[in-house]
Structure formats: structure tokens, C-alpha cells
Structure 1
């Protein structure tokens, strides 16, 4: 009987984990497609790069705002219901994009996509991190990162559906969301572990920063990098003479690099520690980003550099979250997830804005020097951080 129950639990965990990974794949695909797709469509309409970048920030403003209230619905209603609500909101918004190309409408729709996307990511991240054993947490969270990377890499290829009609990429993405929604409906609902009533929300957030501030920076950098690459790189590519097919393939190579190294980095972080892996990847990626402008429009060199950069920083968010989970008590992990998501959205809001203004007023190449400097600074800050395990 015990064997039967253990087997059932194992099967249940496996089905839930795979279902959540598929949700993350589709969510990553929608983000990987939406930013470059809308940037290209607005560029074709004659919208300036700075206005284009500002409009792109709407998605991440939605992500940012969601983090101030999402913890309570997850604790009250459970992971499953929040994921269903997030998928539904993103699906409806995606299908509304092709109906009108008004900047104002697109800003609102991007805002709603950000709210839905943030909700489902918060719930899936917390569900996976909270239920993973400590000695395999790096591996599981890396698989989560790989799932997002698969979707994020495949997403830009949807740009090539534009010749069949401007609505086609949005409709295809909506159908994928509807498909994974059927899997989520079959999952049992669970809720996070609650923190002690005597511990105030303020104390939980202050304690999280005090104990794990270095592990929360990767979320900020990942948001800055992801939004910059998807919103500003298409503009950069068009200005140096690349066509939209090469732009989508370069973004794909960036994602493939992340996929190749995601799991190995997670396994190595389980063995030798998250901090040295994060610092080494940050330092190396800083030099890779700074080298990209010198490749010019030579696509082969750009593909190599993009794959290297993607491999080094593609697991930053997931490894940072795993590092935080190593340090903090499980009861305050929901607060840590909120902070990480806020950091991600701040970086994502800054990315398109800084990229757009940089391209227009500073230099076409400024975005890569910004990213290189940010990752270099992160690695140097790691020297100052001393962690202690809290049980």
C-alpha cells in the first residue's frame, strides 16, 4: 500500500511539474514573440524608437503593479486558480491586438498581458520552488528556466507568420494558451505555506533583503536584458541593415544558448554553489555584450556572440531564485518571489526605455555597453556579499 501511494505521489508530482513547464513554455513564447513583433509593426508604421520603447514598457508596468497584490490571491485561492486567471487574461488580450493598431489600445493590452503573465509566472515559480527538495532545487528551477527559454527562443520565429496576415501570430499564440489551459484544469489545487501571524509583511520583506539582497539582483538584470534584447535589438538590427528574418534567428540563437547551458549551470550550482556560478557568468557575459557592437552586421559572429551571451545569462533569474531559496526560510519565500518579480519588472521597464533613448540620442550600440556594464557591476558586488543558511 505504501508503495502504491508513493508511486501515485510520484506520478502526480511528475504530471504537475510537466504541466507547469508547458505553461511556462507558452508564456515564454508569447513574450518572445510579442515584444519584437509589436516593435517591428510600430517601426513600419513610422513610430520613433523612443515612443516605441515607451509603449513596450506597458507590459512590464503591468508586471510591476501585479506584484503589489498577487501574493494574497495565491495564498487565498491557491496556485491553480491564479494560473488559470493569468492564462485567460493573456489569451484574451493577445487576440485583441490585431483588431486595432492604436498606440493607446496597445498600451492597455500590453498592460493586461503584463498582469496575466506576471500572475501565472509568480504562481508557477513559487509552486516549483516551494515543492522542490533542496538538493535538487537547482536542477528543477533550471528546467523551469529551460522551459521558459524554449518558448522565448521559439517566440520570435512567429514574426515570420506576418506575411500570412497581421492577426496570424496573435491567433496562433492564443491557441497555444488555450491548449495548456486544458492541462492546468486537471491539476489539484494547492496553497503556499503561510508565515507566522506575528511576522508582519514589512518585516518579511526587510528580512528578505537583509539576508538575500545579492540573490535578488539577477531578477533585475534578467528583466533589463530580456526586455532590451526583445524591444531594442530589433530596432538596432534594422538600423545596421539586418532584415526581420535575421533578427528573429539571432534572437533564436540567444535563446538556444540559454537552453544549452541552463541545466548544466543548474547542476553545477547544486555542486559548487549558486554564488560562484552567478559571478562567473556575470563577469564573462559583460565582455561578450561589449563585444557585440564590434561584430557589426556580420551575422555569423553575431550568432556566436548571441549564443554565448544567452548561455551565460539565460539562467540568471532561475539561479538567483534558487540561491534565495537556499538562504531563506520557506515561509517567507512568497515575499522573496514578490521582490524578485518586482525587480524583474523594474529592469524590464528600464530596458526598452533606456534602449530606445540610447539608440536615438546616444549611440546605436549603447544598449550592449549598458548591459555589459550592468553585469560587470553585479559580479563585483558579489565580492561584498556573505550569505548564511537560515533553516
Structure 2
């Protein structure tokens, strides 16, 4: 909910900036840098049985960062707050992923991880709705919604601290066996994490600016449609992963990510007999397509990674997936922000299409090399 409130307000918080799209992208880079740096030690802490404290502390820290936004920080302070917001989000993500990985049956893991994806989408959806309702009926200030969500985060932390106890049986014996979880050895699932992070972060950072400057619609409206589409598509993607295997589903998702932005570009430009989609119709179509793809990358990619590691290393796996999600999230907003600053909506489409072609091509490369060796 917090990100769903903060993201649409970034243009207002950075209203004095002459390079709004770029600064909005950089603020997201700082957020995900915090996620990237914190994910590895948090994953190790989970494997050592500290996941309970990680979840409680992360929720409390996140509540504090939301309250800090109500102080109307300047540009430098805003970037600092976003960094600590990323650290707190990393703690919650790693702890939640770890627990879901441990508690879900292997043959239903995609489905249960997609339920978590739906829960995330619901939270992201409620954030803009709360913000819009508050602005419409109570006050133009967005401090109220932030205080409400900070209170909910603190309440969740308190409930976790006093009532939630993780069964000791879910912790395997700590082992150093096996190779380090790296991009080289686990390119498939981790490429899904990179793509998901880059796509989500670039949309959160840049789509509100495009909504205002290109589509001329409320930023919250675009984010709501992205989130709705992601929530609706997440469960079917997860069930498909359990039935057909996560590898096949990830390849489909990345292929769609490569091609769909090109189709949207054609729709926006039109043909010789039409002027193409513009304004509200293009905004809604783009948001629905982006959400459809994003809804599957997290649950299917993480399910694929868990299938490749021993259950005593789920914390490390969670930290690795979050780390590469954070890496993609660092790259995405800066690149998408720069392209959007120079090329507008077409720049965002170019970034997403290149991202899809690069990661999809990386998944095809081992098979092509193997066929070449056989011949």
C-alpha cells in the first residue's frame, strides 16, 4: 500500500526538478539499491533461524520511512528516505519469500507464491485507491494515507512480534554444501527476477510522469490498471507453472515482454488510415499489458529457483532472487527514465522490449550452443 501511495506522488515531491522523469527514475534506483545491498545478509539471517525478527523489524522500519515522507523532504532527504525504505522492504520480502518457500508443497509452489503476488497487488491497489479517496473527500494532502498505512505496518509488526512463532521444524540444518547461487548457474530463474525488478521499478518511476505528460490522465489510474491486471493474471501464471513447469512459462513471459511493447508502439502510431490510440485508451491498454506480464514473473521465477536448490538454502535463494530483483530495479528506472526524458512514451516501450529480447535470448543461448556442438 505504501508504494502505491508514494509512487504517484513523486512528481509532486520533485515538482521543482527540471528533469522530472530522470529524477523520478533516480529516486527509484536509490530505493532498489537499498533492496539490493540488504538482501544477501537478510537471506543468510533467514537460514540461521532469524526470519521472525527480520519480518518484525522490517515492518517497523517501513512504518518509519512512510512517516518520514509526510515531512515533505527536499530532494536529498527524499533520496535518503528511499534508500532506507528499500532496506526495510528487503527485510519483509526475504522473510516472506523464505516462509512461503518452506511452507508450500513443491508441486503447488507456483500457485502459493502467486497468492503472495496477488496479496502484493491488492496492497498496491489499495494504496492509490486510499490516496484518491482521501484527496476527493477529506484533504489534498497525502500525509493522511501515509500515516494510516504506517499504522497498519506497525500493527502488523506488533502482531508478528507477540503472536507469530515460526515452527522450528521448517528450518533445515545449516549447510554450506552446493554451489553459490549465482546468475551464471541459475540464469533462468534469476533473469526472471532481474526482468521483474527492472519492469516494475521502471513502471513505478516513469509511468506516473507519462500519465501526466503524455496520456493526460491521473497517475493513480494507470497504476491501478497495472496492479489489477497483475493481480488477475498472477494465479493463472502460477497454476500454469505447476502444470507445465516454470521454465516454459518464464520463456513465454519473457517472449511476450519482448514483443508486446513493439505492438503497443504500432498501436500508438497508427497506420496510414488511422491516427493510432492516444490518451485514455492507450493509457489503459498499456497498463493492462504491462500488468499481465509482471503478474507472472515473480511467482514463476522464484518457484523455478526454489526447485533448483536444497531446502536448507531457501533463505539464500530468497536473498538471491531479491538481490537480482534489486539489481534489475537499479538498472531499470535510470535507463527508462533517461529514455523517457528524451523519447517520451516510445522510450519506455524501447526499454521494455530490449529487456525482454535480452533475457529471452539468454535463455535460448545454452540450447543453441548445445545443438551446435552436436552438429
TM-score when scaled to structure 1? Answer: 0.83
SS in 2 for 1:70: helix
Quickly say closer, same or farther: Cα 1:338–1:92, change in 2 above 3 A.
same
- Identify the residue that residue 274 of structure 2 maps to in structure 1: none
Q: How far 1:362 sits from its partner (Å)?
A: 4.1
- Identify the residue that residue 294 of structure 2 maps to in structure 1: 313
Note if contact 1:35-1:56 (Cα within 8 Å) is conserved in structure 2.
no
Q: Which moved more, 1:179-188 or 1:316-325?
A: 179-188
Q: Paired residue for 2:12, among 41, 51, 68?
A: 41
SS in 2 for 1:67: helix
- Identify the residue that residue 297 of structure 1 maps to in structure 2: 278
Matched, 1:174 2:145: no
- Identify the residue that residue 17 of structure 1 maps to in structure 2: none
Note if contact 1:282-1:313 (Cα within 8 Å) is conserved in structure 2.
no
* Number of aligned residues: 350
SS in 1 for 2:70: helix
Q: How far 1:361 sits from its partner (Å)?
A: 3.0
- Identify the residue that residue 66 of structure 1 maps to in structure 2: 38
Q: How far 1:376 sits from its partner (Å)?
A: 2.7
Q: How far 1:43 sits from its partner (Å)?
A: 4.3
Q: How far 1:356 sits from its partner (Å)?
A: 1.9
Quickly say closer, same or farther: Cα 1:326–1:62, change in 2 above 3 A.
same
Q: How does 1:30-179 map to 2 (within 5 A)?
A: 30-37=2-9, 39-49=10-20, 50-160=22-132, 161-162=134-135, 163-179=139-155
- Identify the residue that residue 206 of structure 2 maps to in structure 1: 232
Distance in 2, Cα, partners of 1:121 & 1:58: 17
Q: Paired residue for 2:166, among 181, 184, 189?
A: 189
- Identify the residue that residue 382 of structure 1 maps to in structure 2: 363
Let me know the Cα RMSD of the aligned residues: 2.2
- Identify the residue that residue 354 of structure 2 maps to in structure 1: 373
Matched, 1:278 2:255: no
For structure 1, which runs of at least 5 residues remain unmatched after alignment?
A: 1-28, 387-391
Matched, 1:337 2:337: no
Q: Deviations over 1:328-357 (max 9, x none)?
A: 222233222222111111111122211221
User: Which of structures 1 and 2 has the larger relative contact order (alpha carbons within 8 angstroms, sep 6+)?
Assistant: 2
SS in 1 for 2:180: helix
Matched, 1:213 2:187: yes
